[in-house]
Structure 1
Amino acid sequence: MGEMVVPSTLRVPELVRCLEDEISFGQLPVGTWLKQADLERRFGCSRILLREALSRLEEKGLVTLEANRGYRVRELDEQRLHQILQVRGVLEGEAVLQLCGHVEDLDFANLRSLAEKFEYAVKNGTVIEQEQTNRNFHAALLAPCPNGELVAMIFELRNRAPVSQNRRKNTYARLVRAAEEHYKLLTLIEEQKAQEAQTLVIEHVVGV
């Protein structure tokens, strides 16, 4: 008998998010063929639902459909990757400006704890642990931003530039600097130095 498939409760947006995370964290590396039968079995979803999810990933530029072969994880060219990071930097800079007007809503003790976890992951963790702790920091930082649509767009762009495809820029020295920038950014926001915080976060995101 074949393996029993448990029906999934996932909907298309949730399945897209799951696959985005696996691509971003490098669990589905560049060039991986996405075998639909395997994904249907793993997620317990229908072919119709899976194809809709893969179509959305293609629209986002994360996968490509090749005739008579199927979908596979796409590699971003350097220009497109830089453009995505530039736009994300501008948006995150705007979010930080707004946060400087709502510092009372930020839990700085928790944010510094999250910054410490990223710093530890940089020195001792895997790429996946580094990315997860980095995301946790940025998610907690941006959560109080009064413009929820702005935050949603930032994380949408984050998923369009998978960390697994940005490793040439994410050298150990760059990651150590990023960890230091987290602490500096918190200090600038706490002191409501809005313009300096905005400049720093743009440089932080773009990696200049």
Structure 2
Amino acid sequence: MTMGEATVAEIGPRLRAGGTEKDHDLVGSLVVELQERINAGEITAGTWLRQAHLAEQLGVSRTPVREALRRLEALGAVEVIANRGARVRLPSTRDIIEVYELHGLLQGYAGAATAAFINSEQLERLTKAESLFRQVVEDLRTTTVDTAEVQRRWHEANTRFHMVIIEASGNRHLVEVVEGLHRKVPRNLTWIALGNDVRRLEKDAAEHARILDAIVRGDGAAARELLMSHARHAGELLVRAVDEIGPGRSPHWG
């Protein structure tokens, strides 16, 4: 989705299937759905989230929509501007630096543990995710590929790869912590720094390949260092991209 009104027509049927507007879980379900779409880039940074528009498409009143937006604001995913409404936050430079510092530490910790504890099924999934990066680069080099489709596939590969590492680390609480960071700086935003630049995508794919190799070899120290470096590099690219957008300007991503 590009800038403009948020289109969430698919949410309504799923919410209504789980109960009526009076159900306790309605607002929570709406929060989760919107957060997932923000993370995936279907609702981009800067998009205005109009209560009336959302309520109409979801088939609910404005009350649960208003409460969901308040919760998203508390989570740092949305900003509410007086007399204007709510919109998806564009993270600040400080947000990005701090979040990616934590990402590096957490991913590094997870990578070191994963190198020691990953099982064969998890390793197979990690290997498949890594191959998706290389396939996207190859497709970009040899064919004309739809930008939205490339972004979707890269996002899918990135999500799978890093979530397998977190899962394989054996720390059950790590997923929750990492998801909290994604609410501050949605994972899809790295795409604005990579875009369709084959050289950048190729370098990113190579970083994932080295991380996989360290895990396969059981080298926890190397996996930790590579993942910390990977997070640092991603944060630096994103800071430059956001700085180029500049204050008061709207991003046009995806």
User: Could you say whether these structures have the same fold, taking a TM-score greater than 0.5 normalized by the shorter chain as the test?
Assistant: yes
Does the 8 Å CA contact 1:12/1:50 hold for their aligned counterparts?
A: yes
Structure 1 residue 201 displacement after superposition: 0.6
Partner residue of 1:140? 164
Partner residue of 2:201? 175
- Tell whether 2:213 aligns with 1:187: yes
- Tell whether 2:196 aligns with 1:196: no
Partner residue of 1:49? 64
- Tell whether 2:80 aligns with 1:65: yes
- Tell whether 2:165 aligns with 1:150: no
Provide Cα deviations, 1:107-136, integer angstroms capped at 9, x if missing partner: 323321221123323535432332122102
Q: Percent identity?
A: 28
Structure 1 residue 168 displacement after superposition: 4.7
Between the aligned partners of 2:61 and 2:172, the Cα distance in structure 1 is 32
Structure 1 residue 35 displacement after superposition: 0.9
Structure 1 residue 174 displacement after superposition: 2.9
Over 3 Å counting, the alpha-carbon distance change for 1:142 and 1:45 in structure 2 is farther
Between the aligned partners of 1:164 and 1:134, the Cα distance in structure 2 is 9
Q: TM-score, normalised by structure 2?
A: 0.70
> Among residues 85, 92, 95, which one is paired with 2:107 in the alignment?
92
Over 3 Å counting, the alpha-carbon distance change for 1:12 and 1:136 in structure 2 is farther
Residue 59 of structure 1 aligns to a residue whose secondary structure is helix
Name structure 1 gaps, 5 residues minimum.
none
Between the aligned partners of 2:88 and 2:70, the Cα distance in structure 1 is 12
> Among residues 21, 25, 31, which one is paired with 2:46 in the alignment?
31
Does the 8 Å CA contact 2:95/2:184 hold for their aligned counterparts?
A: no
Structure 1 residue 90 displacement after superposition: 0.6
Provide Cα deviations, 1:132-178, integer angstroms capped at 9, x if missing partner: 22102222332222111112211331342124544453253332222
Name structure 2 gaps, 5 residues minimum.
1-11, 19-24, 237-254
Following superposition, which runs of at least 4 residues in structure 1 exceed 4 angstroms of deviation? Answer: none
Size of the alignment, in residue pairs? 204
Residue 107 of structure 1 aligns to a residue whose secondary structure is helix
